[in-house]
Amino acid sequence: MKRTSAVLAGISGAFLAAGFAISWRDGHRFVIRRYRVFSPKIRKKTTLVFLTDLHSQTYGKRNDPEGPNGPILRAVRRIRPDAVVIGGDMIVAKDASFDRPGWMEVPLDLAGVLAEEFPVYLAEGNHEAQLACARHEGRYLRQYLEYGRAMDHLGVHRLHNQYTDLSIKEEGKAPPWRAPKNSCGIHEKQSAEAGAEERADTGIRLYGLDLNCEAYRKFWPYRLCREQVEEKIGKPDPDRFCVVLAHNPKFFPVYAEWGADLVLSGHIHGGIVRLGPNGPGLLSPDWHFFPEYTGGEYRAGKEDGTEASMVLSCGTGTHSLHLRFMNPGEIAVVELDGCD
């Protein structure tokens, strides 16, 4: 009996040690996953790198000459995208609310270097939204504004309930950007490089949909309708391929009903624990077990009879509960083409 107990204890200890090893490894690495989406609306093949949910995590060594996230920078350079799109939650709201030193240094360092080499577009996640949330009565508004101004200064193009039409250089990569517009189609900024180079219209319109903090509340479900989406970003252009940066994937059917052709989402962190490399995720940030959307590519019907796609990234960072199991960080590469 004692021998049996010792054997069971040894086996249990081995499994526990293996679990800790897998979790540590997955929490300190990322993988590159590729997605391909086709539509006749797309006029020029376009490659996007989609980053989300960094939460100030670093992957580089202390002596990395390219900074705390040198591995991410080198991975993006090897991909040579036409643009980098960021889906929010680059910071940790708790660190910002306590004004902890360096709370935004890591995402600014990464975004700043990327913006020197590629057009970078940014939408907000729930951690940014929390800082501007009305229930906090403006206590963290200063941090929210500082973060936004810092991104602007670096040349990152924030799409706060705005859109921009993507264009790429006829030859080579890293095209100049087109000024974002609000839901009324009014230019918010002007690029000094406008008209400086020949560009090809991709037929792609990129929207940044920033939901308020109530859309992320725990336990009590929030209901989002198409009219609310229209209030924020207007109606979609049926002649263009509409890509929506929408941090919360829970409302994918609503985004599809609005008219999105492709949704880029994060927030779920892959479900934290995945039951197998391609298995379902265990837990969502709003404490729901086995959420419907955890990671990968999904489809939903649209009113015109076509289908919308959603690429849901597992993100690159963690916060609070620093746990990933069979669920490494993810850099998503989204290839958009007009020919199948």
The pLDDT of residue 142 is: 93
The pLDDT of residue 15 is: 54
The pLDDT of residue 191 is: 36
The pLDDT of residue 271 is: 83
Per-residue model confidence as pLDDT tens digits over 100-132: 999 999 999 999 999 999 999 999 999 999 998
Counted residue by residue, the chain has a size of 340
Pairing of β 162-169 and β 181-182: antiparallel
Average pLDDT, the chain: 86
The pLDDT of residue 55 is: 95
Helical H runs in 88-225?
Answer: 93-97, 105-117, 126-131, 141-154
Of 73 and 284, the one with more pLDDT: 73
The pLDDT of residue 173 is: 47
Looking at residue 319, the DSSP 8-state letter turns out to be -
Amino acid identity for residue 171 in this structure: E
Reduce the DSSP state of residue 70 to 3 states and report it: helix
For residue 295, pLDDT beyond 50: yes
Per-residue model confidence as pLDDT tens digits over 29-40: 899 999 999 999
Sheet holding 83-86, edge to edge: 30-38, 329-337, 46-51, 83-86, 120-122, 157-158
Angle separating helix axes 141-154 and 105-117, nearest 10 degrees: 30
The dihedral over CA atoms of 122, 286, 296, 256, expressed in degrees to the nearest 10, equals: -70
Interior CA angle at 121 toward 45 and 32, to 5°?
60
| Enclosing H/E stretch for 74 | helix 70-79
Of 322 and 225, the one with more pLDDT: 225
Per-residue model confidence as pLDDT tens digits over 222-265: 999 999 999 999 999 999 999 999 999 999 999 999 999 999 99
Q: What percent of the chain has pLDDT over 70?
A: 84
Per-residue model confidence as pLDDT tens digits over 187-210: 443 333 444 457 789 999 999 999
Give 82's pLDDT tier (boundaries 50, 70, 90).
very high
Most confident residue range from 45-49, 98-102, 196-200, 315-319: 45-49
pLDDT (mean) for 92-99: 90
State pTM to two decimals: 0.89
Give 174's pLDDT tier (boundaries 50, 70, 90).
very low
